[in-house]
Chain A
Amino acid sequence: MSPKMVTPVEVGSVVEPALRIVWSDGHHSRYGWHALRVHCPCAACKGEWTTRRHVDPASIPSTIRPLRIERVGAYALRPVWSDGHSTGIYPFNYLRGDLCECEECAARRAAPSAP
């Protein structure tokens, strides 16, 4: 069996103060809109060859928020941002593994190397 990706069973609304995702394994994630926009994984923001890490946070207004969030295939979310940007496709494993702001995930990422 190929490994099944953890997928959102519930995605919060864009009118909430932050993005809220409940995952298929029961985990709850929360993402600030500004941080989410800064970590946009699209080629325009990140560069085609992953040399730059992310866009300059100062260049993104603090009031940024998505107008809507679309699901992409079986694997990702695509926010359409208030600054007009919409090319970022955020795969579920990126959202869950790299961006989740909960204490548990932050601690895991801060550890030198996961066992």
Chain B
Amino acid sequence: MSASPPDRVRVLEALRDVQDPELHKSIVDLDMVKEVQIRDGTVQVEALLTIGACPLRDSIVASIEERLRSLPGVREVRVSLGVMTPDQRQALITKLRGGEVSAQRRSSFLTAESATRVIVVASGKGGVGKSTVTVNLAAALRREGRRVGIMDADVYGFSIPRMMGLSGQPTLIDQMIIPLEQDGIRVMSIGFLLPDEGEAVVWRGPMLHKTLTTFIGEVHWGDDLEYLLIDLPPGTGDVSITLAQTLPQSHMVIVTTPQVAAVKVAQRAAKMAEKVNMEVIGIVENMSGFRPAPGADPVYIFGRGGGLRLAELLGVPLLGEIPLDPAIREGSDAGVPIVASAPDTPAGRAFRQVAERLAERVPVPTR
């Protein structure tokens, strides 16, 4: 006895569960399902891709087939693919940007009421491990089930693509940029827009400004994003100013080393935050003690107490001290943050603790 084949409504209902892998929204809600024909047990679906060269077309076809085959009464599924017209694409972009008619409408976190929490990772000096801290915090938040994005604002010294094991070009749907994704973490970096990793960005301020406002306004981060971590370049230059002038709400985490000489420099980052009304939520001390062997006494290569001292000076919490561990550096070079590869090592635990405290300090609103 075979069940009777489903009707159009049931098919569309089932397809609602199929998400566009890049846009993270149901293909039905995105008006990507153009045709549904049901004849006997055969369901024929025509789906519209945003762009013909959609890199994930096979994955969309497979998801549709899998979902529909599970319906009772379906014997065969045929999926054909078409491509949206420019008008359909514009309608989709408008829909993704929150349905407003205005082309000026920007990403959701450009409104003060946005639920996305923007965390700016800053330092005074360079080379303190800002990017490493950023990717590991992102990985730790992701582990806790948070929807996380990383925006690499270190335009000259970008390193996030390598640390996340990502390369290649982002998909462009007309003027909208789809971030690359690794383990569920959405990532955008100038590195994805250059021909190769060795290419240098030799730009003056106005170009930086344009790039960052594009990253903020024209990258489709998704309105379900809970945390956007922004990896700043060191210091208090053009990039920091652009971000401060563009983001209506953001919080700052300052990364420093234990060295006391670094404290004064790091304090300037906090000074900038104060000027632009950005709240410093805490300090992360990176490159704290090194244990030459498990159980051995730590060696304080870069001195001690810098993070705590800075936290006390600013009256903010020290969110954690990350030990020096070659595995952290190896993870960054290999493109797998230590929080993902070895979450239970002392370093992995230290990062996770920082992420936990950060999420306590800046909770995402319950939806």
A residues apposed to B, CB below 8 Å: 1-5, 7, 71-76, 89, 91-92
Contacts and interface: CB of A to CB of B under 8 A. Distances in A.
A25 B275 CA distance: 19
B280 A73 contact: no
B126 interface: no
Contact of A3 (B247, B249, B274): B274
A74 B279 CA distance: 10
Which residue of A2, A71, A76 has the most chain B CB atoms within 10 A of its CB atom?
A: A2
A74 B277 contact: yes
Nearest to A92: B277
Contact of B279 (A4, A7, A76): A4
Contacts of B270: 2
Which residue of B243, B248, B275, B276 has the most chain A CB atoms within 10 A of its CB atom?
A: B276
A73 B315 contact: no
Interface in B215-270: 243-250, 270
B244 A2 contact: no
Contacts of A3: 274
A2 B314 contact: yes
11 contacts: A1-B279, A2-B274, A2-B280, A2-B316, A73-B244, A73-B246, A74-B244, A74-B278, A76-B276, A91-B276, A92-B277
A5 B279 CA distance: 9
A interface secondary structure, majority:
loop
A2 B273 CA distance: 9
Given A74-B278, A75-B277, A91-B275, A1 B247 contact: no
A69 to B, nearest CB: 15
A3 to B, nearest CB: 7
A39 to B, nearest CB: 18
Contacts of A5: 277
A7 B243 CA distance: 19
A75 B276 contact: yes
B248 A73 contact: yes
Interface residue range, chain B? 20 to 34
Contact of A75 (B275, B280, B315, B316): B275
B17 to A, nearest CB: 39
Contacts of B112: 74
Nearest to B276: A75
Nearest to A78: B245
A103 B244 CA distance: 32
Contacts of A76: 245, 276
A71 B316 contact: no
B277 A1 contact: no
Nearest to A1: B315
Contacts of A1: 279, 315-316
A4 B273 CA distance: 11
B278 to A, nearest CB: 7
B124 to A, nearest CB: 16
A1 B315 CA distance: 5
Contacts of B245: 72-73, 76, 89
A45 B273 CA distance: 25
Contacts of B250: 74
B247 A73 contact: yes
B276 A73 contact: yes
A73 B248 CA distance: 4
